[in-house]
Structure 1
Amino acid sequence: MEADEGAQRMSSNSTLAGIRMSSLSINNGSQQAVLKSGLDQIPQLTEENYSIWKDKMSALLKLQGVLEKFNAPKGVALDVDMDAELTFLLISKIDSVTHNNVVTADKRNSAKGLWKAIKDKFSSSQASNRARILNEFFYIKFKEESVETFITDVKVSIKKLVDELTVEFVCNHLNEYNNENKVL
């Protein structure tokens, strides 16, 4: 199964590198190489990596000059060819489990619709998602031998929450965790 997914990723990356350059603002060879390298660096969207995926995908969409259109009101449309290319790009960068949870019949033919569905599913403004992310944050395990891993996990959780957390909130959590460990 992993071999199939690897082959699919390679195939989609090769196909993505062939996106019509005439529809992009990238015309010379070195810029095309940057685009291909960028495409290769965007991971498949999973249930765990939305923050990283969104940052990389947003950078690519900005490079293509369409990020503003994705975030614009409904009246701003993409041309048919660009919409098809971006729909392909988004679908090819979503893993199968996430695909089943995001891509619906009414969204599968619209890049803007897919983008909105992805943002809606993973946005921490959704109460259920915010609760899940906060719960993950509260249960981050601290191990003295892996302080760097702990710090990275805390940073990732904070980034997922999007809103700025206060130092007081983080310190209270650490104190609470420390107190729980003393009881054990």
Structure 2
Amino acid sequence: MARSGNSNEDHITRLVDNESYNIWKFEIKIILKAKGLFEIIASNNELKKDGDWERKDAQAQAIIITSIDKKHVQHLLNCENAKDMFDNLCSLYDGSEERNKCQILQEFFNYKYRPSHNINEYLSEIENLTFRLKKNLDKNWMTKL
């Protein structure tokens, strides 16, 4: 998975696709919490929008925008703040529950070992896929197919 190029957030996995989404979301929340900015995306826009809020919002927006692949920028052009940006990106991947289930199952059935990856990368990809399967599929998913 790609890493963002921002020197302050070098450890954030770049949001590229469905495979990187859960890790990106986890890491972006941690970075925003560590920088005291999480309240900006967690609130229901009920925070006092003063100069301090605007500065924090701009910092959160910068972290988000530098941690995503350029193909996602078009989805954020009309966002007014960091919360809108975060919610918009989450809706792209959390989106339709049924669509996500189908996409994850398709990835699972099409997954193949790639000789260019070492065993740690391979296991990490399998763990990520397993996590996503557990998160999105209920126990009776096979009977629903």
Q: TM-score, normalised by structure 1?
A: 0.57
Equivalence for 1:70 = 41
Equivalence for 2:20 = 49
Amino acid corresponding to residue 42 of structure 1 in structure 2: I
Aligned partners of 2:134 and 2:96: how far apart in 1? 9
Q: 1:81 aligned to 2:55?
A: yes
Q: How many equivalent pairs are there?
A: 133
Aligned partners of 2:38 and 2:85: how far apart in 1? 13
Structure ID, larger Rg: 1
Structure 2 SS opposite 1:51: helix
Which deviations, in whole Å up to 9, do the C-alpha atoms of 1:133-183 show, x marking residues without a partner? 22212322369xx987665433211223462768998xx8xxxxxxxxxxx
Structure 2 SS opposite 1:136: helix
Give 1:125 shift. 5.3
Runs ≥4 residues deviating over 4 A: 146-151, 164-169
- Gapped runs of 5+ residues in structure 2? none
Aligned partners of 1:167 and 1:150: how far apart in 2? 26
- Gapped runs of 5+ residues in structure 1? 1-5, 18-38, 173-184
Amino acid corresponding to residue 98 of structure 1 in structure 2: H
Which deviations, in whole Å up to 9, do the C-alpha atoms of 1:100-138 show, x marking residues without a partner? 3x3132x1x310100101111112654323321222123
Q: 1:158 aligned to 2:130?
A: yes
Equivalence for 2:106 = 135
Higher percent of residues as helix: 1
Which deviations, in whole Å up to 9, do the C-alpha atoms of 1:4-41 show, x marking residues without a partner? xx9x93xxx24xx4xxxxxxxxxxxxxxxxxxxxx111
Give 1:95 shift. 1.2
Amino acid corresponding to residue 14 of structure 2 in structure 1: Q
Between the two structures, name the one with larger relative contact order (CA 8 Å, sep ≥ 6): 2
Aligned partners of 2:97 and 2:45: how far apart in 1? 21
Q: TM-score, normalised by structure 2?
A: 0.70
- How large is the Cα RMSD of the aligned pairs? 3.4
